[in-house]
Amino acid sequence: MSIVDNLLQHLDKVKCTGPGTWSARCPAHEDRGPSLTIAEKDDGRILLHCFAGCDVHDVLAAVDLDISDLFPPRAIDLRVKPERRPFPAADVLRAIGFEALFVAAAAVALLDGKPFSQHDRERLIRAASRIQAAMAAAGVSHG
């Protein structure tokens, strides 16, 4: 069984999003929709990113795997230039789009003069943080 197959068998709602890339529900948090992106690189490494902000160690612990399970047994050639955008643009846009809907709803509430609860403020800050994380994962810089 390949490294990626071993990981994918532990995840729910796995969907192939392109050659060597998948999305799935993140096992580290209560995930209604797929927020975890998985990418298998040419050298056999597996990259994970949860757009909800879960740490890769937490994701792996939730499926009883370790960080070493994401790497092939052979040595990695460190001279290989790292990829600039390891995640498909569609996955990044989906994550940003979801958070943008929350930001838009908050803006409408603010314009209507509705007060923000502490929870609303924290969620708005989390949305901004997740948008920044998605952009960073896509290799997009500001400006």
**To the nearest 5 percent, what fractions of the chain are helix, strand and coil?**
40, 15, 45
Q: What is the pLDDT of residue 131?
A: 85
Characterize the bridge pairing of strands 46-50 and 36-40: antiparallel
Higher-pLDDT residue of 130, 13: 13
64-106 confidence digits (pLDDT tens): 888 888 888 765 566 666 655 566 777 778 888 888 988 998 8
Burial of residue 131 (CB within 10 Å: 0-12, 13-18, 19+) is: buried
Q: What is the pLDDT of residue 77?
A: 62
Arithmetic mean of pLDDT, 119-128: 87
Sequence spans of domains, the chain:
3-70, 89-137
pTM (whole model) above 0.75: no
Q: What is the pLDDT of residue 78?
A: 65
